[in-house]
A = this chain, B = another copy of it.
Amino acid sequence: LANPVIITLLTDFGTSDYYVAAMKGVMLSRWSEARLVDITHGIASQNVLSAAYVLLGAYAQFPAGSIHLVVVDPGVGSKRRGIILRSDRYLFVGPDNGVFSLAVPEAVEAFEIQPSAYLAATVSNTFHGRDIFAPVAAALAAGVRPEELGASICDRKQLAPLASVTGSRIKSQIIHIDRFGNAVTGIERHHLHSDQLSPSFVLEAGENAIRVQKRFYAEQPAVFGEPFVIWGSLNFLEISVANGSAAESLKLSLGEDVTLELGRHS
């Protein structure tokens, strides 16, 4: 007996409405053996980039064969496409708005979801998660092939690059703020020559200039309220403050520009 297929869910629906449960009910009604695991439903409303980052942090931990269902979908009801992606290990289902850009290489097979008997009998204008994406994920879990649900495409939407490097300067933005108030930038380790920033580095974010780097959050000395940068567990540079919320105390918001000046010896 094979293990039941895992379907993960990642949305910006929150957890205080019926939206997520309706999607779960639809999937369990169509394929009762599906095993549902929430990634999160707390993505900042309609923030595709933050969703792409959270998907990147979670998807690769799941067993091969898992189906990742993402519904962060500012364009619901308009002409944007619904897509299925098939990588070596996983299937992905959701709107074609770039939300899969960070997790899924450009080269994987992509399919545009087409009307079919697998979808809800009536598709609403406002809730494709329930009427299109959840039914498609359940069909995939039941063994229906992407080819039966859509048509092959080769132009799925990609996000713009998260960071641009010019000499010793890297420009990026805040792409995610986590529960602890850590502000994640789009600057990745591979943008730099070394994990250790040069002693003269400075990260500018909003009205702040940050010149301290730590290796882990509890590293000493911890100056109360002092901001510092740290490589997060996904290898993006994060802005933190000791014993507090960086986003609050430094007044950082999603989308805010940041500039890392590496100095002479980087």
Contact = CB atoms under 8 A, between A and B. Distances in A.
Interface of A: 3, 6, 8, 12-26, 28-29, 32-33, 36-43, 45, 53-63, 74-78, 124-127, 130, 176, 178-180, 215-219, 230, 232-234
Stoichiometry (number of copies): 3
A213 to B, nearest CB: 12
A58 B15 contact: no
B6 A18 contact: no
Contacts of A60: 25
Contact of A38 (B21, B55, B78, B127): B21
A39 B125 CA distance: 22
Contact of A63 (B18, B29, B126): B29
Contact of A77 (B37, B56, B219): B219
Given A42-B16, A77-B219, A61 B125 contact: no
10 contacts: A3-B32, A14-B179, A15-B40, A16-B179, A18-B53, A21-B58, A29-B62, A77-B219, A125-B216, A126-B233
A59 B12 CA distance: 21
A41 to B, nearest CB: 7
A130 B15 CA distance: 21
B233 A32 contact: no
Given A22-B57, A130-B233, A218 B14 contact: no
Contacts of A76: 216-218
B61 A22 contact: yes
Nearest to A125: B216
B74 A218 contact: yes
Contact of A57 (B18, B41, B78, B218): B18
Contact of A218 (B28, B58, B75, B216): B75
A14 B130 CA distance: 24
B37 A233 contact: no
Nearest to A240: B126
A71 to B, nearest CB: 13
